[in-house]
Amino acid sequence: MPIRKVKSSEDAVGTLTTTYSGRYFVDEIPEHAIPQGSMPARAAYQLIHDELNLDGNPALNLASFVTTWMEPEARDLASETLNRNFVDQDEYPQTEEIHHRVVSMMGRLFNAPADAEACGTATIGSSEAIMLGLLAHKWGWRKRRADESARPNVVFGADVHTCWEKFARYFDVEQRVIPLSAERHIIGPEEVSEQIDENTIAVGAILGTTFTGQIDEIAGIDELLRQVKQEKGWDIPIHVDAASGGFIAPFSYPDLEWDFRLEQVRSINVSNHKFGLVYPGMGTVLFRDVETVPEELVFKINYLGGEMANYSLNFSRASNTVLLQYYNFLRLGHEGYTRIVGNLMENAAELERALTASGRFELLNDARYLPVVVVRPTGKDGGLDVFALSERLRERGWIVPAYTLPPNAESVAVLRMVVKENFSRDMAEMLSADIAWALAKIDGRPSPQAQAAGERQRRIC
């Protein structure tokens, strides 16, 4: 591995402050142990800054759902509040007040009962939020179980994020995973009915899956569980994983019932750092009412000052993402979110049209519920290697993941493109052109760009 160096001298310690510290990069920079000496701030900055040039471009990262752009004012606010510890409510009471406002606003957004106190907490992301939600349901099951020796189980489809499996393993809960098929990539009441029993702590339902962007049949599952409750007395809650769809549904299809309007939906998680348009990491878990969270799980702590309640898996964390979510609520309002979400859905639809018009791809789903474009090769082009296509696109800077679906749908290989706020119509057209270029490379024929260049040359001559 090449050794990067910076000159050891008094100048390098502090007198040279120009970019690259006068270009004195001649001494070894330790990579596995903290160096003995110091270096100028600008030199340390430039070393790290330059290394990060090897990372992908966040603006071209269509693999991630996570927000990669915010307004300058939001970035200023984030920088100003980096030093505020979110958990220290005694020292930062106004930050905690804003946190309560954010939770309350989101509770109303998800149609929490008007007569119930909004209940929930900000988390590092949806992984922590899901675990907190399911922990509450596990303890709720413990209080109502008849058999002390029984083992709890949780039911969900193979379309879930891996954090659901982590919860089951880390907290010793049997996971009952409903497999997918090559034709069906979601779950509904028929599949759920075969898995639940009196020891089911919750059923997981997904509002916008990571794999396909589709949604589980949440209303149908709710109807099933209400019927089971009436006939058998099993009060099985639904936890809705709205990590991706929680900030899309209220603004794009508000009449769809998936949230607290459904009786058995007792908890919801959402990733604010996705379509809440906030930098990572920020998630939220929301409960139907305070009774859903067992009191034993809420810790009272006083060693930071005044006594404060805490329900989390993490402790110290930055406050700025919570404040950024409040910024977006004030800045955008319902009208602004509706406009932005509409733009996302329209650009996703345009990208779908361009890809299907090529004749090389067919949609695995349509961008109805999420601004996510998922395609696979057409039947006549079944020999197209989507993994090779993904690698070719990286040559142009695009990060477009290729993967196979979960069991039992591994035979389906797809490309997925997440359309975020900074993905414009112009970028959609450039991506379509680069996909055509990549396909030409794979096929071993002249690319559209090369053909166009040749035509320009002929006109010049």
End-to-end CA distance of the chain: 48
- Assign residue 23 a region: left if phi > 0, alpha if psi is -120 to 50, beta otherwise? left
- What's the pLDDT at 128? 96
- What's the pLDDT at 382? 62
Contacts of residue 103, defined as CB under 8 A and 6 or more positions apart, other chains included, come to 118, 119, 120, 121, 122, 284, 286
- What's the pLDDT at 148? 80
Q: CATH 3.90.1150.160 region(s) of the chain? A: 341-460
- What's the pLDDT at 146? 74
Q: How far apart are CA 439 and CA 189, in angstroms?
A: 41
- What's the pLDDT at 300? 79
- What's the pLDDT at 456? 47
Give the full edge-to-edge strand order of the sheet including 402-404.
361-363, 372-377, 413-418, 402-404
Contacts of residue 37, defined as CB under 8 A and 6 or more positions apart, other chains included, come to 8, 13
Q: How far apart are CA 30 and CA 26, in angstroms?
A: 12
Residues of the chain with pLDDT under 50: 1, 3, 6-16, 21, 23-24, 453-454, 456-458
Angle ∠(117,123,128) on CA atoms, nearest 5 = 110
Using alpha carbons, list the distances in angstroms from residue 78 to 104, 339, 459.
Answer: 22, 24, 53
Contacts of residue 265, defined as CB under 8 A and 6 or more positions apart, other chains included, come to 218, 222, 237, 238, 239, 240, 258, 259, 288
Q: How far apart are CA 24 and CA 42, in angstroms?
A: 12
- What's the pLDDT at 110? 97
CA 78, 79, 80, 83 torsion: positive or negative?
positive
- What's the pLDDT at 9? 43
Q: CATH 3.40.640.10 region(s) of the chain? A: 73-328
Write the single-letter amino acid at 273. Answer: H
Which CATH code is given to the segment(s) 73-328? 3.40.640.10
* Strands 119-123, 308-310: pairing kind: unpaired
Q: How far apart are CA 433 and CA 420, in angstroms?
A: 19
Average pLDDT value for the chain: 89
Q: For the purposes of burial, counting CB atoms within 10 Å of the CB of 439, is it exposed (0-12), middle (13-18) or buried (19 or more)?
A: buried
109: Cα separation from own chain's centroid = 19
Class level of CATH domain 341-460: alpha beta
- Token pair 């979601």 is found at 186
- What's the pLDDT at 153? 98
pLDDT digits (tens, 9 = 90+) for 220-256: 999 999 999 999 999 999 999 999 999 999 999 999 9
- What's the pLDDT at 302? 67
- What's the pLDDT at 168? 96
Q: Which of 32, 25, 35, 19 is nearest to 4 (CA)?
A: 25
Angle ∠(370,374,380) on CA atoms, nearest 5 = 150
